[in-house]
Chains A and B, each alone.
Chain A
Amino acid sequence: MAKRIEVKDLDIYYDKFLAVQGVSMTIQPRSITALIGPSGCGKSTFLRTLNRMHELVPNARVDGKIFMDDEDLYGPGVDPVSVRREIGMVFQRPNPFPTMSIYENVAAGLRLNSTRIKKADLDELVERSLRSANLWEEVKDRLNRPGSGLSGGQQQRLCIARAIAVQPGVLLMDEPCSALDPISTQAIEDLMLELKSDYTIVIVTHNMQQAARVSDVTGFFNLRGVGQPGELVEIDETTKIFSTPSNKATEDYISGRFG
């Protein structure tokens, strides 16, 4: 089930350092939302608050609210482990577990959630996830080989397969293509467009063409000033952002003029 995410007036801290301030946005289900902005403005930080990975940094915390289909992610009694189950994540560098086979990598999350899963069912789920990640044809003959033996692009698709195997509602991707060549990037982008019909996807990218190509909605983050927290400058339909942005800073950024 693709989920809707609503962020209300979010402040994000590393200990006493306010990294991101006052973010409010709505992320629609079955769509791709791209987050762009200069380095260090807090895109990754913001993304990691959506599945509560942010709080793994010691003393990191957030102020404000995030709802997923009307459930408060930071509400009392909410288990961050369940949140992360429901909101999957793909990282900048492909990170399949080096000690596990391709099969085991995809099955890793499934095994966590249901211990008594039947072998045949598991096989089917692994195959389905790999097919969804457009990887099945390439690896079906070597499922028991280590995942780290694949090419970078294949590894990244393996990580996507691993993330979608547990059937999350939302998929977060932090610069998923920045370590890949153009052909692998193309494959991942195609994959995102296919996955869109089932998942809510949020992607951080430095590649403006990529944002323009794949996303429905684009949000622009910027630093308010040197030494100041990052903020969400504007968020709108991608076509609008890239043709007639309402903010001068956004226009400067996407047209390559800074400062």
Chain B
Amino acid sequence: MIKKRRMFFRMIFASLMRRRSRMIVALLSIAIGATILSGLVSIYYDVPRQMGAEFRNYGANMILTGRDGSFTNTNIAAAKGVIPSNELVGAAPYRYENVRIREKPVVAAGTDPAGVKATSPYWLINDGEWFEKSGELLVGANIADAFRLKAGDKIEVSYTPESQQAAAADNQVVEDNFREFTISGILKTGGSEEDYVYMPMSDLEELTGISDKIDLTELSVSATSDKLKDYASEIDSVVPAVNASLVKRVTASEATVLTKLQALVLLVTVVVLALTMICVATTMTAVVAERRKEIGLRKAIGASDGSIIKEFMGESMLLGLFGGIIGSVLGYVFAQQVSIHVFSSSISFRPLLVPITIIVSILVTGVSSLMPIRSATDIDPALVLKGE
């Protein structure tokens, strides 16, 4: 039995290896199909995870604003006190000021780098790293483009203090405050954040000479929407200077877009699957037609229909295996490229996708070969051997 199995594999390997030029077409179609399938599945699962899932689970879902303009750190502490600390995932205060870079006006935001990381995990650093320390500046992609800035550059940010603003309006000589920053990274979010530069709050306070002023604070709270509402109204009553509002609608629309995106990817996946199957079936039909004589000969020397099916199935499944291996490698590369260029995020390698791609590739190849291979058993040994 072992000898028989060994002969079986010897035959199908010989058929694939020694008829390489013929098999390469079939292999190519399977490999391309497997590549696109595994790539799309990667994108299907990974991009929403990168862009949306984290945002939905941990992103900011409550915004605190001052009832009349800005508010203070004390107000925030009081507001935060309303929410149990184990439910508060993160808080990021923001303060916006008009500053200048190379004499051009830019809006700078002072914030808490660690807080932003918790409330906006979907922020992506395109080049360089997250800002952490004093003196580090995170530059929005649009600003970086406009000023041709890149990570590691040193730039000067200047601010005209209130006392000098009248003079500035009069076109008189003004004495600006200024400070040098190192650009830690370029920020890519796909939203308006790309139009700002971000610095630690303490740096902005130092630059402007004004401290304890906050325009808004984003909170990320892990609680049900009912509970969130309760917290919001409690904050409104306990801290009158602060107005708490929920930002559920932003997340919901984000989720809708992602669902639609996933539906599209799913649709394309199904179409590609169908095309691959048609392609494989066509190739296998050609393979069977081309090998009519061989099949007749095998039958003449005693092959049963079952063994003919087994041999051709073996060949096509082996092709499926090779195609699946190639496809799972290329699929990752493909998904990575699409993800970087279209979604500006990178994809993590999913080891589980490799065996899944290979198994699906083998099954798809097998199923699409079924009909052509069945037709091989109709070949009459006498007819094949007779004429010609």
Do A and B actually bind?
no
Chain B residues close to A by CB (< 8 Å): none
Interface residues of A, Cβ cutoff 8 Å to B: none
